[in-house]
Amino acid sequence: MQAQSDQERELAELIVDTLNLEDTKPAEIEPEELLFGDGLGLDSIDALELALAISQKYDVQLKAEDERTQSAFSTLRSLNAFIQENSARGSEPV
């Protein structure tokens, strides 16, 4: 599997913790695997909980690219990229 960056790993841990994913270890989430629908199989309830956790940890508000794909951040990699781009803290350790 592709290597997760440190930031991606941290985000994967947040996902697993926030959503109580009992079957998944953070290190197992492939950076380019779909988070919603197929792949990890998260749904819109998860998206809301995750959006909250992300706003609290990274001080970043998620925005949908397109209403039809509400959970617009299709992968760990793209979600992390969005957070990093929009985070005031940049690469400051949390």
Binding site for other proteins (CB under 8 A): 21-23, 41, 43-45, 47-49, 51-52, 55, 61-64, 67-68, 70-71
Residue 52: which H helix or E strand, with range?
A: helix 44-58
Nearer residue to other proteins within complex by CB, 27 or 41: 41
Q: How far is the CB of 55 from other proteins (least distance, A)?
A: 5
Nearer residue to other proteins within complex by CB, 63 or 94: 63
Quickly list DSSP for 6-50: HHHHHHHHHHHHHHT-TT--GGGS-TTSB-BSSTT-B-HHHHHHH
